[in-house]
Each structure stands twice: as structure tokens, then as C-alpha cells.
Amino acid sequence: MTAPAAALLSVRGLVKRFPGVTALQGVDFEVRAGEVHCLLGQNGAGKSTLIKVLSGAHRPDEGEIYWRGELVSFGNPTAAMRSGVAAIYQELDLVAGLSVADNVFLGHELSTMGFSQRAEARRRTRALLDLLGHPEISPDRDVGQLSVAHQQVVSMARALSLDGQLLIMDEPSAVLDPDEVRVLFGVIRELTARGVAVVYISHRLAEIREIGDRVTVLKDGRTVATGLSAREVKTSELIALMTGRVLDNVFPDRKPVAPDAPEVLVVRGLGDGDRFRDVDFTVRSGEVVGLAGLVGSGRSEILETVYGARKAADGTVEVNGRALRRGSVGAAVRAGMGLCPEERKSQGLLLDQAVYRNITVSSLSSFARFGFLDDRAERARSGRLTEALDVRPAGVDRVVRGLSGGNQQKVVLARWLLRECRVLLLDEPTRGVDVGARSEIYELIRELADSGVAVVVVSSDIEEVLGLADRVLVLREGRVVHDGPADEIDESRVLDLVMEGHAA
Amino acid sequence: MSEDTAAVAAHEQQRAPVGKDNGRGISGLLASPAGRNTGLVVALVLLCLGGVVTAGDRFADVDNLLTILRLAAVIGVVSVGMTFVITGGGIDLSVGAIVALSSVWATTLATQGIANDTHWIVIVFTALLVGGACGLVNGALIAYGRVVAFIATLASLAAARGLAEIISNRKTQIVNVPGFAAFFDASVLGVPVLVVIFAAVAVAGWVLLNRTTFGRRTFAVGGNPEAARLAGIDVRRHTVMLYTLLGLCCGLAAVMLVARTTTGSATHGGLYELDAIAAVVIGGTLLSGGRGTIAGTVFGVLIFTTLSNVFTLNNLSISAQAVAKGAIIVVAVLLQQRLARRSGA
Amino acid sequence: MSEDTAAVAAHEQQRAPVGKDNGRGISGLLASPAGRNTGLVVALVLLCLGGVVTAGDRFADVDNLLTILRLAAVIGVVSVGMTFVITGGGIDLSVGAIVALSSVWATTLATQGIANDTHWIVIVFTALLVGGACGLVNGALIAYGRVVAFIATLASLAAARGLAEIISNRKTQIVNVPGFAAFFDASVLGVPVLVVIFAAVAVAGWVLLNRTTFGRRTFAVGGNPEAARLAGIDVRRHTVMLYTLLGLCCGLAAVMLVARTTTGSATHGGLYELDAIAAVVIGGTLLSGGRGTIAGTVFGVLIFTTLSNVFTLNNLSISAQAVAKGAIIVVAVLLQQRLARRSGA
Amino acid sequence: GNTPQNQGGGNQGGVKVANDEPGKKVVIGFSAPAADHGWMAAITNAAKAEAGKYSDVELRVVEGTNDVNLQISQVETFINDKVDAIVLLPFDGAALTPVALKAMKAGITVINVDREFDSPFAARSTVLGDNHGMGVSAGNYVCERLKGKTDAVVAEIAGIDSLPLTQDRSRGFAEALASCGLKVSNRVAAEFTVESGEKAAANLLQAARRIDAIWNHDDDQGVGVTAAIKNSGRNEFFMVGGAGSANVMREIKADNGPHKATVIYPSTQGADGIRLARLVVQGKSLGDLVEVEVPRQVELYAPVVTKDNVDRYLPTAFES
Ligand SMILES: Nc1ncnc2c1ncn2[C@@H]1O[C@H](COP(=O)(O)OP(=O)(O)OP(=O)(O)O)[C@@H](O)[C@H]1O
Ligand SMILES: Nc1ncnc2c1ncn2[C@@H]1O[C@H](COP(=O)(O)OP(=O)(O)OP(=O)(O)O)[C@@H](O)[C@H]1O
Ligand SMILES: [Mg+2]
Ligand SMILES: [Mg+2]
């Protein structure tokens, strides 16, 4: 049996099993040359797994893959690359310690008789980075020192350097700011105009409407709909397909913060002597403060400094009126602070340990008597939280590494929910989280705030900052340039503020 | 390869998932702690079979088994401590030197006139103190001085052995404190005191690693120090505690060695670092940290000691022993991996 | 002294990247490869100063410098190979044993009647072949057998030494092939052949690690094997190549040692594993893989050999030397770290 | 301890020979393997003590090492330094031969101690312990005590098995035993350390249920062997030691342990080497000989020490 001639790639009945989980249980879809084919699905639906099968990183257990009408099996990534399939993985798989140019050409190095053609590699990398709108990234920089956003750009450059017929992007926009997403879309349009097909994965429906041609929806490892028109299909229909239920209002209603609510977190004149300085802000009990700014404006650094994970050079951080010792995470945690870090894999999770252990790691003493742990209580409490957060697949004994990105994020959140913090610092809390879970997380943040927690949220999604926060701080190059209630500012104004002096 | 990664990841679970989310029957059983060590158990049993076949009842004899256990005791105590350090993401090359230094310091006290009146327990405390102090220095160098563990403990290795030589003037110091020998040579219900100590340390180590906050933090610190730090664990203090714990184990091992040989010497503990690390790693503790098993370590120690016992019973040449040892190590590990993978699936 | 060392080092040193993207003034300079080794250079210079102060012109003498370099040559060649394996995320404990086995096998050929007619180059090839084969076995065990590198090479260590003892019947085998000694005892422009070989290996190693596809892939395999795999690199094949390369280096080192001692022996290369790993790690290569520097390794080797030379010249008590050695290692590493951190590398 | 008095060796008791009169200044370099066991430590200590007795000797002692490469470079340093003499106890005699030859060529007097070079031109004079003879002495003693017991079980606890000296000892032992119809039934090897001795012996005692005699190559490891024997509570055999530590001699004298004899392997060889080096450099001859030059080779005797003659040897024994 042959696939229709129009299809560049066609997939039938794909099944992929992991120990204990069947990630894909019958996926069918096809991609035509020159189209942007969007994959939608909740966290854990199997999108990334599908990508890995298509790019030769996983071998499928069942099913057929047709490439240009021919049955193929990509035994390894090289085979897929040779055929013209290039992928950007969700977990940015770059090698820290190697330069940008080296990463871009890793595995398909430019060389003469084994010797690297470094000048040529650098030149081509430069061109690719320019094309992607990032002339400021130096091809000689160590990738490990780039921000996540820049690393994402490098991954894209890498995929482009392969010059493939099919480009697969697994949540490329998760770490990009709106401006950069626009550049990315420009590149995608250029590619499709040349007949390159793009498989695009994102949890942001707006993006899919903007760039997509057709949509395939996965649920629990199965194709539930395929070939939908990206522009015409109704949002509610998509959400219903993905989640099996109907969601209406994404952002929960705000409750006005009581004017006499105590100022739980007070930051005064904070600076690290390098990336930011003179940062002042306060967060009241029950208030959600959003930090908006471009990638690289230093938001993560500020959060980490407030938390004591970086040592402040100037300024003070007070929680409930008591100043914290500088550079001490322990002091911050004891004072009731919690941080969900930006990079959950390297900063947040114990990847090879069970879910419940990741959740209880910050609250061990509350499960211990004379240092001895009550394992059963740990599991029970964690179980209730993961159920509430709908972590999938369920099971607190599962190793975190095997969870999908979005579910991993929920595990980190659960950790601080368990601790019942008074101040919660969230760095990109919904990165890689699906619409359904996203609204659950918003709901949760709101509930927390309503119960008196002071929350600080950093997000590159301006809509999210505005929708979620009571008050918005706008950052530019390490300084606070705006501080005001969220309902007195709109998206374009924020954009203006963050871009000021940038665009010019 | 990623399939295998997944299998390994599954294998890393500390406890078998119990209950509804895991009705996997035999495979569930295999994934239990006993199951995770199946390969090691099988290797040990095969080794014992080998012993019985080649050496008959000379091997399968209570005295011989006690001999094996006594031999295992000293290095076993060190290996249990080493399991903590390696699980916590570290390594310690100085254990043998610390054993030597502790033994020398403790026996210097005992061989000097002053000590004739003091109780033998002083020897024990001195050794523990010296061992603990060495561990503390190692830990501080690594955690606060930020010297790579490998290098820091390599330096300690050189320094501690040198110091031991200076203190002992490179002589073997013979202990004649009567109560000391009497205590450690005794048996409890037929089991030699040394073996009892080893068993106690192993059990205590298991409880500490698997049932306490300290153990849980050790896994966290070893698995992802940055995440542990951001989760509010004082990674550096914890690291210091890990090395100190190992130092204390070395001190205890020194006491046991002094009791066994009636001497303290700067040559004690030669190559313990390799033996201990090998036992720990063959037991299934990850050298890169974050995964550790005391039961595995105990099996590892027993495998190595049984091996040399069987060799000796068979009058094998040392060279042939070495070749066979290499082959057996590889087979044991392969066996362990194959079985662990099957049970993890 | 320092001029000479610097000259050797200059060979292997990457020229500082020039150009606009690195215009960071002094900090840019410090972040250059030369800068990254500042601490090591300073440590070496201090050591040399110590040598000059305590031993005057007995230290600062061409003959003495050549003595240091000759001493450095054998372990240096092994360390260069070790840099590749460690950068690629591995470890090899069997290097000393491989050196012994290669030396024994090669000299068995040379001491047997048949070989009297054959050219001495046969010795060289045999040693390389044996070393390479051992490395191949190590690599295959690790990459395809998936035995942890530490354990696999520990097993090889035991097996290879045992085999060497069996082959040599535990005798020291003396080589009398005339051309052989003549070749390796010669000097090129006043520089002994052994030192020339070391320099050549270091330069070749530098080029291989920093200027070839193979080198790039080594960093990738060590730094993030999963990413390397996704990038289409055959990680397992590459791993085998790394260990084989190290095995070849060990074979070469065996040839050099045979030339230096005119003997092959099962006791050759004792504890080379520790010496080589220490030199590599002190040089700044990460034990966890992904970062490696040949220049650093060369400095590491020179620091250790200069240290023992200065000790030799100063007639220090042996135990005090061990203590001092420990202290100096720590100081060197701290210095290196402080300076590297300041330079922002 | 190793007081200079009892390090002097046999020839000091007699006439105060002219040889001891201060002569021209002699710089001597001394290199030996790592002092990783008591005998080797005693070698170095004795050499130092001996040198300290002569105002005209300057001794340079370098770090003991088991790495032939490092030991070669130590000798090279001595050559660079133009010392007058080198006393060398090589880790491996053959491996250090080329550099010793180089030293001799450079006009330096090389005295080879204990482990022999493979070229007669590599040393001016050689002081050898008699390893083979040691085994023979031990074997003969065992034969004598077990006279007539043809089914006797003889066990051997060797030292570091990869060293040629261990094989020489074992060979001598086996030859002597063969002469009276015995053989070694069980053989284990330790590493010259107390701990390894204890370990090897513990296993050995399990391997052989009945033993009549044990020869242990080295009295350092013997301390551990004794501890293991005590632990096992066995006493059906007698034990012969090796090297001759003071400690074992005291036990022989007191006759309260398994040791009934030990075979001496003098730890004063290094000290003898120092003396010879000094004599050669100063152009003196060896005291009681008519010969005007220092002999090319001095092979030391390996006597058996028993309860009867222990008092004679105890003063020169080394403390392990
Ligand atoms: N290596 C693995 N081992 C075990 N299970 C895995 C592994 N990789 C993925 N899974 C499981 O497969 C399922 C699909 O995961 P996948 O990462 O494909 O989801 P996703 O759709 O990409 O989700 P997200 O939107 O959160 O990225 C999940 O249940 C996950 O737990
Ligand atoms: N370890 C590092 N060394 C050098 N530069 C770094 C390092 N980490 C980050 N940077 C740089 O600091 C800048 C800030 O990055 P960072 O990701 O913290 O910004 P941000 O405002 O938090 O943005 P985002 O929310 O996307 O993370 C980036 O330009 C990045 O290149
Ligand atoms: Mg995904
Ligand atoms: Mg950030």
C-alpha cells in the first residue's frame, strides 16, 4: 500500500511503548510539502515521543512511516537526517562547553580529511543566526553560557543547517518573547515557500492560528483528529478534542487585594553589581506581582537573588519585616519562600527519583520524627497533590525523567504547594504546559494568593502576566521601568516599555 | 539506547511501586530491593557453588564462612561509608590513608607509657576522632574550598600516609592493651565481634540512607546538587557531613584492623580506596551520584572477599587469580545488568 | 626552567582567539586558553622558584631540566591519552597494567630467539598492537557491554597485570636489540628522543582534540551523550575509539619505558592510573566529561614531575615529602580555580 | 629502635680500623624503593644512621619509589649533581641497569644493594642479600624439625609475588624441601604488610586443616600472620620467619609463640652499601681483607636464628 503522492511524510498506526507506559498507541497523520502542520495535545499526549520516532531517536514498536511514498525505518538520527528530516527537540539537546558553531554542525561537521573547517563553520553559523534575527550571538560563545532563549535559537540554527525537507519543531516558542516569535514565523514562512514542510508543536493556540495550515490533535497517544484547518477550527472545539472537556475562561477572576494587607515581601535597592540594580518592589499578602521584560532583561537573576540563590551586592530582602541573610537559600526557605526555577530539568528536579521524593524534598522535616521519615505519609500527601494537579500518568513512584515536560513542571509546583509557603517565586511557571493544565495552574496561583500567599510571577508571555497579576513590574536592562496595577496597562504598552531603546 | 536509559531509570526507583499502579506480578517482585540485587545474589551464589565444587567442605564450613565474614568486616565498614559519599556525588581516595593514620595515632597513644593506665576505649575514641577529623578536612576542602573531590582526597591520601609514617616513625606499633584484644576477639553467639560490628554498621547505614531525612538529602545532593540547593538543602554542609561520616567509618575500620592485627601501621589500608569503590560500584551505586544501595555494597564486599577465599582454598597462583578476578568482575556486572533490566521492565 | 617549559607548552597552546567578538580587554585575555591555565602556570613557576631558591643552579640547569622532561615523558604520553577518555566522559584504571602487559609482550618477542633477526621496529609495533587491543577490549566492554567504565577497567587492570605476570613468568625481561636502545637514547638537537616523542604526542593530541571532527565529537560525547546521539553521532563507536586511542598511548608509553629501562616487566606502570588521572584533573579536565585541555594536562604532568625533582634535590625526609605533596596539590588547584574564576572562563 | 650502635654490623666490634678515620668528603646519593614495609623502612633508616656516624659523608636520600621511571630520574639527578657515589637499591635491578651504567660512565661509584643489576659494569660493588639462600636455610630448618615425617604439610606465605626476590626465596625453599622429600602443600602470597599477612594467613588456615610447618618470607607481615594464627586458636605447627625482625627474635627467645626460628635477610645492606661507597671513593680497602681494593661483590649470609643463637643476632635486628 502506498501513501498519497502529495504527502511528504505519512504515518500509520504508530505505537511506542516505554516500560510501564504506552506513549503512542496508534498515531496516523500526514504532512504535505510546503505546509505548516501543527500538533496539538495535552501534556503527556505523546507529541515529543512522536517527534523522536520521526527523527530516528526512538524506534517505534509498531506502525509504518512513509517518506515520499516509500516505507522507511529511521534506525537512528543520522538516517533521518540523511533523508532530510531535521528536528528541534523540546529538551534543548545542546552540548554545553562547545561553541555555538560547533553545536550547530555537531554530527555533520564541516571538515576536510577530519580537520574542522572552523572558519567556514563560523561563517555559516553567523549567517544562520542573522537569518534568525540574532546577530548578537557570537558563534564562538560557549553554548552553556547562553540564556535558554538563545540556546533555543542555536537549536533552530542547527536544524536549519541540516537543510532538510521536513523541519520538526517541538515547542520552539516556549522560551521566546513575542518579538522573537515573530522572527521565527518569518523564517518558517520563508522555508515553506521553498517547499519545506514544518511540523510545529505549541501549547499556544494563537500561534497555531497565525502560522499553521493544518492541525492534528493527539490525546493519550492516539490521533483524535487530523487535517483540521488551523485557521477555521474553533478554539473550543480544539480544547474539547485535546482535553475532552470544555474550558471557557482561562484566567481566573482577581479579587482585589485588601489595602491593609501586610507587605509580606519587601525588596529594597537590590542589585547584584552586574546585571541589575536598584530594584525595589513589595508584594502584599494575597497579591500576585508579574515581572515582564525581554529575555535577558534579568528577571531570572532578580528572582534568584531575592531567593538567596545568588548573592546580592546591594539592597535588602525582607519577609514579614525580617531581613534575610544574603546569599542563603536556607534562610529564604525557612522564612517561607519558595522558587520554581526557570530550567526545571537542571535546576528543579531530581530526574532519576520518584515523583513523591521530588515533591517532599523541601519539606522533609515535616515528615520526619527524630530524622526518620514516614514514607507512607509522604506518598499520601504527594498523591493528593499530584491528583489535584492532574499529573499524568498518575503514580507518585514514577521516575520524574519519564514524565512529559508539562507534568514535570507540575511536580515542581507541587513541591512548594506542599510546603505552604508565604512567598512564592515562579519563573516561567507555564512554560511547556498545555492549555488545560495551564488554566489549572492559574487557578491554583489565584487560590494561593487568595489564601494570603504573596506571589511573584516571571513570564515571557505578556498576556499571561497581565491576565494573572494584580500588579505588573516592567523590567528593562536590569532596571524597573514601570510598576503599576495590571488593569491600568495593556499588552502594547508593555511591549512599548520593554522595547524602548531596543527597537531603535 | 534511550530504551535502555528508560530501563535504567526505572531500575533507579528506590522502592518497588506497590499497589494499584503497578500490578506487575513477577516483574514487580523483581523490581523490589531484593530483585534489584538479583544479579549480585546470583553471582555470589555461583561463586559459593564454585567454592563448594572445588574445595568441598573446606569451603562450606562454619569456620571458613566466619573467616570470610571477618575478612569482609574491615573493608565492609569503609565501603558502607563510601556508599554515602558516592551516592552524594563525591569520591574519596584517601580512605586507606585515613585508616592508616587513625590506626597509628590510636596505637601511639596505647603504646606510650601514659596510656597504660587508661582504658582501651581511649584507643577507640582516638581512632574515631582522627578519622572523623580527616573526613571533616576532606569535606571542607571539597565543599567550601571547592577543590574537586578526586584531587582533594588524592592530596589527603598523600598527606595522611606521610603523617602516619612520621608519627609511627615507619614502625609497626604493637598493641598489648589486654582489654582491647579481649573485647574484639570475643564472639557473640558464635559470631565474632568484628562481624557483629560490620553487620551493625551495614544495618545502620541502610536505615540512615533509606529511612531518614539525611539519607534522602544525600540522594538529592548527589542526583542534582543545583536542584537540591534551590530546594533549600544546604548542599555544602551536607557534603561535609558525608565525608565526615566516611571518616568516622574509616576510624572504626582502623580500630577493627588494630584489633585484628594487634598493630597500628602506616601501611595499613593499602589500596582500600580501590577496593571500597569497586565494592560500592559493583553493588549498583552510581559513580555519578544520586543512586546508592547499601545492600548492593554489602554484596559487593562479600563477592570480593569470597573470591579471594575460594582462590586461596584452591591454591591458585596470584597471577591466575588476577586474571580470573577481572573476568569474574565483568561477568558479575553483566549478569547484574541483564537481570536488573529485565526486572525493571 | 620556566622558559623551557613554556616553550613546550607554547606548542600546544591555542592561540588566543583574536577579533571583535572577544574584545573584553584583560578579562578577555584571561579567558583565553593561556589565561585558563594561569593558575597552573603560576603554580609551576612558584614550584620552579622554590627549586631555584632551595637548590640553586642544581635546579636551574639544562641537564636537570632534561631529567625532568624525560621523567615526564612516559606518564605524559599516557596522560594525553587519558585526557581524551576523561573528556569523553570515561575513566580508565587499567593504563598502568596495559603499559606492563605491552612492555612484557613486546619484550617477550625481542628476547626470544626468533626475534634476533627481526628489526626492533617489531617491538614497537607489538607494544602498540597490544596496547591498542587492550583499549579496544575496554572500549567494547564499556560501550557495547555497558559495563561502568570504572568497573570494566578495574577488571582489565587485574586481568592485564595477571596476564603480564604469566607471560613474563614474573621475570624482568631484558632487551638487547641494539638498534632499539640506540634509537631511543639518541637526542635531536640536544633534546632526548623520549622528550621529542612526548612533545609530538602532546601536539598531535592538541590538534586532534581541538582541530578535528573527532575532537569535537569527543567533547559532545562527554558533555551530553544524549545530545550527541540525537545529533547523529555513533556514541558507542566513538567511545570504543577513545579507549583504543588511550590503549595505543599506553603501548607507546610501554615502548618508551622499555627503551628507558631496557626491560619489560609485569611491575612496570605501577599506579600510573592515579598519576595520569591526577595530572589530567589538576590540568582542568572535568572528571565528569565534556571539558578537556591537553595543555592543562601537560602542565599537570610537569607540575608533578617538577615536584618530585625539587624534592629529590632537597633531600627532604620521605614522609615530609608526602605531606608537602598533598598540601601543594591542594594549593595548586585552589590557585587555578581562583584565577580561572576571576578570568571568567 | 635503630640506634647507630646496633646498626654497625659485625666488623665494628673489633679493632678500631684506620678506615674509620675521617678522609676526604664523600657525597653519597641513596635511592631505594618505597618504604611500604618495615624492612624497607629499616634499610633506609640504617643507611641514614650509618652515614651519620661519619663526619666525611654527606648523604642525600630521595623519596622511595616503586616506579622505575621515577627512580631512574632520581639517579639521573644524582648524576647531574655529580655526587661521588650512589648507593642504589633498585626496585627492579634490570630496569635500573642502563642508568647505573650511565652513572658509572660519568665516573660515579655505584654500589648496588640487594637487587642485582644485570650488567657487571653497572656497579663498582654489589651487596647482596641471599634470597635463594634464605629459602634454602628455611627449608633445611623445616626438614630438620620434621625429620621423618614424609606426609608433613608445609605451608608457605610468600611476599609480593611479582618480585624476583620472592621467587628466588620460594625456589630455594622448594629445593631444600625436596632434598628431604617434602613439598609445599599450600602457598599464599601477601604484600609484606601486616594487614596483608593477616589476610593471607586467615585464608591459608582455612585452606589447610592441618599444618606442620609454615615458612613466612617476611617478619613484617609476620606480625599479621601471628595475629591470624592467634585468632584461629591453632597451634599444631611451628613457624619460621624471614628477614629477622627484633620482634620475632624476642618471640623466639621467649619461646611463647608459633615462631621457632627466623632466617635473616640483613636490613643493614644499605648501611653496608654506604660504608663500601665511602671506602671506594676514599680509595681504602675493606678492613680485614688483604686485598687492597673493595671486592666486587659481597654476598651476605642468611643464617637461621633459633632459640639457641638468638642472643647473637638480636642486637642487629630491625624493629618492624
Ligand atoms: N523515556 C521515557 N521513559 C518512560 N516514559 C516516557 C519516556 N518518554 C516519554 N514517556 C512517557 O510518554 C508519554 C508521552 O510523553 P511526551 O513527552 O511525548 O508528551 P508530550 O505530548 O510531548 O507532552 P508535553 O506537552 O508535556 O511536552 C508520557 O506519559 C511520558 O511519561
Ligand atoms: N552563566 C552565565 N554566564 C554568562 N552569561 C549568562 C549566564 N547566564 C545567563 N547569561 C546571560 O544573561 C542574560 C540573562 O539571561 P536570563 O535568561 O537570566 O534572562 P531573563 O530576563 O530571566 O530571561 P528569561 O525569562 O527568558 O530567562 C542573557 O543574555 C544570558 O546570555
Ligand atoms: Mg513534549
Ligand atoms: Mg530567565
* pLDDT for residue C341: 60
| CA-to-CA separations, D281 to D12, D23, D49, D109, in angstroms, rounded | 20, 10, 19, 7
Total length of chain B: 345
Query: Residue B307 and residue B302: Cα distance in Å, rounded?
Result: 8
| Chain B residues lying within 8 Å of C334, measured CB to CB | 145, 147
CA B288 to ligand 3 centroid distance, Å: 27
Nearest chain C CA: its distance from D300 CA (Å): 23
Enumerate the β-bridge partners of residue A372.
A369, B212
Query: Residue A140 and residue C21: Cα distance in Å, rounded?
Result: 8
Q: Are A217 and A409 in contact (CB under 8 A)?
A: no
> Which CATH number does the domain housing residue B93 bear?
1.10.3470
- For A222, counting Cβ atoms within 10 Å of its Cβ (0-12 exposed, 13-18 middle, 19+ buried), the class is middle
Q: D158: which 3 cell numbers?
A: 610468600
Residue nearest to atom 29 of ligand 2 (CA): A296
Query: C160 CB near a chain B CB, below 8 Å?
Result: yes
Task: State the count of interchain CB pairs (< 8 A) between C and D.
Answer: 104
CB contact under 8 A, B163 and C287: no
Query: Residue B173 and residue C288: Cα distance in Å, rounded?
Result: 41
Percent share of chain D, pLDDT over 90? 51
Q: Which residues line ligand 1 at a C-beta cut-off of 6 Å?
A: A 18, 21, 23, 41, 43-49, 90, 393, 402-406, 432, 434; B 2, 6
Q: Output the DSSP codes for D203-269.
A: HHHHH-SS-SEEEES-HHHHHHHHHHHHHHT--SSEEEEEE-BHHHHHHHHHT-SSEEEEEE--TTH
Q: Are A401 and A352 in contact (CB under 8 A)?
A: yes
Query: B211 CB near a chain A CB, below 8 Å?
Result: yes
Query: Residue A98 and residue A231: Cα distance in Å, rounded?
Result: 41
Structure confidence by residue, pLDDT tens digits, D237-276:
999 999 888 889 999 999 988 999 999 998 889 999 999 9
Q: A44: which 3 cell numbers?
A: 503527556
Q: Is A346 in the pocket of ligand 2 (CB under 6 A)?
A: no
Task: Give residue A31's Cα distance to chain centre.
Answer: 25
Nearest chain B CA: its distance from A400 CA (Å): 9
Nearest chain B CA: its distance from A129 CA (Å): 31
Nearest chain B CA: its distance from C274 CA (Å): 9
* pLDDT for residue C5: 36
Query: Residue B92 and residue B152: Cα distance in Å, rounded?
Result: 8
Query: C112 CB near a chain A CB, below 8 Å?
Result: no
The residue among D229, D212, D218 whose CA lies nearest residue D190 is: D218
CA A461 to ligand 1 centroid distance, Å: 24
CA A295 to ligand 4 centroid distance, Å: 7
Q: Which atom of ligand 2 is nearest to the CA of A475?
A: 21
Residue nearest to atom 30 of ligand 2 (CA): A147
Integer distance in angstroms from the first to the last C-alpha of chain B?
14
Helix and strand numbers (H, E) in chain C are 16, 4
Q: Is A298 in the pocket of ligand 2 (CB under 6 A)?
A: yes
CA-based R_g, chain C, Å: 20
CB contact under 8 A, A94 and C233: no
Chain C window 100-129: which residues touch B at a Cβ cutoff of 8 Å?
Answer: none
Residue of B nearest to C144 (CA): B1
Residue of B nearest to D207 (CA): B313
Q: Are B13 and B210 in contact (CB under 8 A)?
A: no
- Best A51, A53, A83, A98 member to test C by mutation, with max C CBs in 10 Å, is A98
Residue nearest to atom 12 of ligand 1 (CA): A23
Enumerate the β-bridge partners of residue A399.
A354
Integer distance in angstroms from the first to the last C-alpha of chain C?
28
Q: Are C313 and C305 in contact (CB under 8 A)?
A: no
Query: Residue C69 and residue C83: Cα distance in Å, rounded?
Result: 19
Q: Are D58 and D25 in contact (CB under 8 A)?
A: yes
Q: Please tell me whether residue B160 adopts helix, strand or coil conformation.
A: helix
Q: Do chains D and B touch (3 or more CB pairs under 8 A)?
A: yes
Q: D160: which 3 cell numbers?
A: 609480593
Angle at B170 between CA D260 and CA D112, to 5 degrees: 80
- For A147, counting Cβ atoms within 10 Å of its Cβ (0-12 exposed, 13-18 middle, 19+ buried), the class is middle
The dihedral built from the CA positions of residue C71, C77, C81 and C83, taken in this order, carries a sign that is positive
Percent share of chain D, pLDDT over 70? 94
Number of alpha carbons in the 13 Å side-chain half-sphere of residue B275: 23
Spatial CB neighbours of B338, under 8 Å, sequence gap ≥ 6: B39
CB contact under 8 A, B147 and C93: no
Model confidence band, residue C228 (pLDDT cutoffs 50, 70, 90): very high
Model confidence band, residue C33 (pLDDT cutoffs 50, 70, 90): low
Spatial CB neighbours of A123, under 8 Å, sequence gap ≥ 6: none
* pLDDT for residue C1: 37
Structure confidence by residue, pLDDT tens digits, C119-170:
788 889 999 999 999 999 999 999 999 888 988 998 999 999 999 999 988 8
CB contact under 8 A, A95 and C233: no
Structure confidence by residue, pLDDT tens digits, C266-295:
989 988 988 899 899 888 888 888 889 999
B314: containing domain: 3-342
CA A195 to ligand 2 centroid distance, Å: 35
Percent share of chain C, pLDDT over 90? 46
Residue C30 pLDDT more than 50?
no
**Nearest ligand to the CA atom of A142:** 2
**Nearest ligand to the CA atom of A219:** 1
| Chain A residues lying within 8 Å of C214, measured CB to CB | 114
Chain C window 16-45: which residues touch A at a Cβ cutoff of 8 Å?
Answer: 17, 21-22
Residue nearest to atom 10 of ligand 1 (CA): A402
Q: Are D127 and D114 in contact (CB under 8 A)?
A: yes
Q: For the whole model, what pTM was predicted?
A: 0.87
Residue D19 pLDDT more than 80?
no
Query: B300 CB near a chain A CB, below 8 Å?
Result: no
Q: Are B129 and B192 in contact (CB under 8 A)?
A: no
- Best B8, B285, B299, B323 member to test C by mutation, with max C CBs in 10 Å, is B323
* pLDDT for residue B318: 76
Structure confidence by residue, pLDDT tens digits, D106-158:
999 999 999 889 889 999 999 988 899 999 999 999 999 998 888 899 999 99
Structure confidence by residue, pLDDT tens digits, D153-177:
999 999 988 777 888 999 999 999 9
Q: Is the omega angle on the peptide bond into residue A393 within 30 degrees of 0, that is, cis?
A: yes
| Chain B residues lying within 8 Å of A395, measured CB to CB | 17, 21-22
CA-based R_g, chain D, Å: 20
Least confidently predicted of A290-304, B329-343, C57-71, D210-224: B329-343
Model confidence band, residue C217 (pLDDT cutoffs 50, 70, 90): very high
Residue of A nearest to B16 (CA): A397
Query: Residue D64 and residue D91: Cα distance in Å, rounded?
Result: 9
Per-residue pLDDT tens digits of chain A, which is 504 residues long: 444 446 899 999 999 998 878 889 999 999 999 999 999 988 888 999 999 999 999 999 999 999 998 898 888 888 899 899 999 998 768 998 899 999 999 988 998 888 989 999 999 999 999 988 889 999 999 998 888 788 888 998 999 999 889 999 998 888 787 888 888 899 999 999 989 999 999 888 888 999 999 999 998 889 999 988 888 888 888 888 887 766 655 788 887 888 888 999 999 999 988 888 899 999 999 999 999 887 777 888 899 999 999 999 999 999 998 999 998 999 999 999 999 998 888 899 999 899 999 999 999 988 988 889 998 999 999 999 999 888 888 889 999 988 887 788 889 989 998 988 899 999 988 887 887 778 888 888 888 899 899 999 998 888 888 888 999 999 888 888 899 898 888 888 888 887 775 543
CB contact under 8 A, A111 and C22: no
The strand ranges marked E within chain D are 26-31, 57-61, 85-88, 109-113, 125-128, 154-158, 184-189, 213-216, 238-243, 259-264, 297-299, 304-306
* pLDDT for residue A426: 94
CB contact under 8 A, A350 and B219: yes
CB contact under 8 A, B154 and C278: yes
The residue among A10, A30, A2 whose CA lies nearest residue A213 is: A30
Per-residue pLDDT tens digits of chain B, which is 345 residues long: 343 333 333 333 333 333 333 334 444 444 445 556 778 888 889 889 988 888 888 888 888 899 899 989 999 999 999 999 999 999 999 999 999 999 999 988 776 655 556 678 888 999 999 999 999 999 999 999 988 898 899 899 989 998 998 898 888 888 877 788 888 888 888 899 999 999 999 999 999 999 999 999 999 999 999 999 999 999 999 999 999 999 999 999 999 999 988 889 988 998 898 889 989 988 988 888 898 999 999 999 999 999 888 888 887 877 888 888 888 878 877 877 777 665 543
Chain B window 266-295: which residues touch A at a Cβ cutoff of 8 Å?
Answer: 290-291
| Chain B residues lying within 8 Å of D186, measured CB to CB | 315
Number of folded domains in chain C? Answer: 1
Chain C window 289-328: which residues touch B at a Cβ cutoff of 8 Å?
Answer: 317-327
* pLDDT for residue B85: 97
Q: What is the crossing angle of helices C178-185 and C235-261, to 10°?
A: 100
